[in-house]
Structure 1
Amino acid sequence: MTPVMAPVMANVSAIMSKLAVLFMIGLLAGLTATDAHPYSFEDEGGSRSSTRVPGQPSRPVAKPLPPSRTGTPRTNDGNMIPAIVGLPPAPDQTEYRLNPQDLVNITVLHVPDLSTTQHIGNTGHIQLPLIGHIRIGGLTVEEAQQRIAGELSRDYLQDPRVNVFVEKYQGLKFTVLGAVGRPGVFDITGQITLLQGLAMAGGFAKGAKEEQIVLIRTDRPGHSQAYIINGEKVQCGALADPILVGGDRIVVPKFEIPFFFKEVLGTVRGFIPFL
């Protein structure tokens, strides 16, 4: 090596040594970051990723779900439904609106010749003595009584007393799922109770948790309420047999349902996983 090249080679050697040190520092920093955060989390878009811990296989870890904005807690297992241990309230029959093909019985007090039982037509009309065609479809029972009484009082009777009774409902259904003989969707044809609905579904199957029947009801648009009912007590008469309404969903579990509860004003309330 010539005397001229010696200083140049010394400078190159020094630069390479500095680069090697910087590389090692960067590598150690990366390993430290991996040890501090061994697993990744879901990003805002919900995608999952995974990293590797030295000496262990990589695995995805889900980001814990935040509380829902409505105040109902959520878990990684699914949404939760507000639940009450006990019976649902009796349905308000005054809110039901008459549908085509409903079978209605109409009586006029002290005038038996005006009484009739018939299906509401597809246009919502029925045929009555004296009056002829009158539309009651879409009305509540009380509104239908008032309309019929108004037509009768116009030309025929003074202060008529009209009673409308729905003998068979059309278009209302309920669902039975879980440990029953024949799960499915069934029509509500008149007043049907919980036990009658379960009988229509073939009764309890082997292993059914009869003491923990879940009845899920939509009490207002977009909101469901679950009721955990002890079917054994209903069968022996210790609890009333609740009346079903259109849209009810009955779930008979085979296993214990997780129930996160709290007691509020003497009523056990809480949440169950969405079924």
Structure 2
Amino acid sequence: MKAVKYALISIFLAGMCSSATVFAQEAGASTEKQADSAVATPTPESANAAAEDDVILPYYDNYLKEYRLGPSDVITVEVFGQCPDYCKSGITVPPNARISYPLVPGGVLVAGKTVEQVAAEITKKLNEYIIDPKVTVTLDKAVSTRYSVMGKVTTPGVRVMDRKVSVYEAILDAGGVAKGGDKKRAFIVSYAADGHLTKREVSISDMESGKTAMVYLNPGDQVFVPSKGFGIDSIFDILGKASVVRFLFGSPF
């Protein structure tokens, strides 16, 4: 009788342990699902930040990718598996825009070239000495291109274009429209490839309110914020385009 009693107790305890094990496994699985759900579901803040990065970063990446090098810009050259002999960091482009580089007599002319074009040229030079060189050129500091904001702004002058700059940003960086200035419009004077001047009028108020897309400047562009009622066409007609720009904005750069 005692043996039967002990057997029943053993079966009961085994059942309890089995139930506890199943419960623990189910609880663990539930916890894992909750953890996976928590990881997989982004918060609104992180989603917004990612969306902003997707919109903003391409502007800066494209600007740096298409940037044309000039004096005082700073670049880094790296050759995969060939450091430190053929890797140089912090190279400041000299006034003649020709940088010195190992195994390249006379250096490499970088003026007016993108970092990808410079990398391709260095690759071509190194092919004579290194088998299939992997060259990367990065832009560390962009200071050679400029734009100016003149007219009725708080702090007119020339500024470094180290990023892609919109007309609206340029005016804000210049302290905004000053008293008596036309807050609704501005003029952009650009130098075409053939040396001629082009001008266009943009609406500051429409860009500010989002009615029109942002207008971005090109290197060397000059923004002019006029007084209320000012017409730039009459001055261009009387004095000639080149004279007016020199008078209002100074010499081109």
Deviation at 1:108, TM superposition (A): 5.1
Q: Any unmatched runs of 5+ in structure 2?
A: 1-61, 237-243, 245-253
- 2:120 aligned residue: 146
Q: Are the counterparts in 2 of residues 100 and 137 from structure 1 also a CA contact under 8 Å?
A: no
Q: Any unmatched runs of 5+ in structure 1?
A: 1-89, 260-270
Find out whether 1:99 has 2:70 as its counterpart.
yes
Query: 189, 194, 206: which one pairs with 2:179?
Result: 206
Query: Per residue, is there more helix in 1 or in 2?
Result: 2
- Greater Rg over alpha carbons, structure: 1
Query: 146, 162, 165: which one pairs with 2:139?
Result: 165
Q: Are the counterparts in 1 of residues 143 and 162 from structure 2 also a CA contact under 8 Å?
A: yes
Q: 1:106 to 1:190 in 2, by over 3 A?
A: farther
- TM-score, L = length of structure 2: 0.53
Q: 1:95 to 1:168 in 2, by over 3 A?
A: closer
Q: 1:12-55, CA deviations, whole angstroms, 9 ceiling, x for partnerless residues?
A: xxxxxxxxxxxxxxxxxxxxxxxxxxxxxxxxxxxxxxxxxxxx
Question: Alignment length, in residue pairs?
Answer: 173
Q: 1:181 to 1:139 in 2, by over 3 A?
A: closer
Counterpart secondary structure, 2:134 = coil
Q: Distance in 1 between matches of 2:234 and 2:66?
A: 31
- 1:74 aligned residue: none
Find out whether 1:126 has 2:121 as its counterpart.
no
> Where do residues 75-94 of structure 1 align in structure 2 (5 Å cutoff)?
none
Q: Which structure's relative contact order is higher, taking Cα pairs within 8 Å and 6+ residues apart?
A: 1
Deviation at 1:118, TM superposition (A): 2.7
Q: 1:218-254, CA deviations, whole angstroms, 9 ceiling, x for partnerless residues?
A: 1134421112111123234443333323331211122
Q: 1:123 to 1:217 in 2, by over 3 A?
A: closer
Q: Distance in 1 between matches of 2:155 and 2:179?
A: 13
Q: Distance in 2 between matches of 1:225 and 1:130?
A: 44
CA RMSD of aligned residues (A): 3.7
Q: Are the counterparts in 1 of residues 80 and 133 from structure 2 also a CA contact under 8 Å?
A: no
Q: Distance in 1 between matches of 2:169 and 2:81?
A: 35
Q: Distance in 2 between matches of 1:115 and 1:236?
A: 46
Q: Are the counterparts in 2 of residues 169 and 190 from structure 1 also a CA contact under 8 Å?
A: no
Q: Distance in 1 between matches of 2:138 and 2:213?
A: 26
Deviation at 1:188, TM superposition (A): 2.7
- 2:152 aligned residue: 179
Q: 1:111 to 1:215 in 2, by over 3 A?
A: farther
Query: 226, 232, 235: which one pairs with 1:253?
Result: 226
Q: 1:198 to 1:161 in 2, by over 3 A?
A: same
Q: 1:246 to 1:132 in 2, by over 3 A?
A: same
Q: 1:111 to 1:94 in 2, by over 3 A?
A: same
Q: 1:120-175, CA deviations, whole angstroms, 9 ceiling, x for partnerless residues?
A: 134434355787983233351243222111133332241525344373132x3322
- 1:227 aligned residue: 200
Q: 1:242 to 1:132 in 2, by over 3 A?
A: farther
Q: Distance in 2 between matches of 1:256 and 1:110?
A: 63
Q: 1:64-107, CA deviations, whole angstroms, 9 ceiling, x for partnerless residues?
A: xxxxxxxxxxxxxxxxxxxxxxxxxx99x8593x3221122445
The one-letter code matched in structure 1 to 2:129 is D
The one-letter code matched in structure 1 to 2:228 is F
Q: Distance in 2 between matches of 1:234 and 1:115?
A: 43
Q: Are the counterparts in 1 of residues 98 and 111 from structure 2 also a CA contact under 8 Å?
A: no
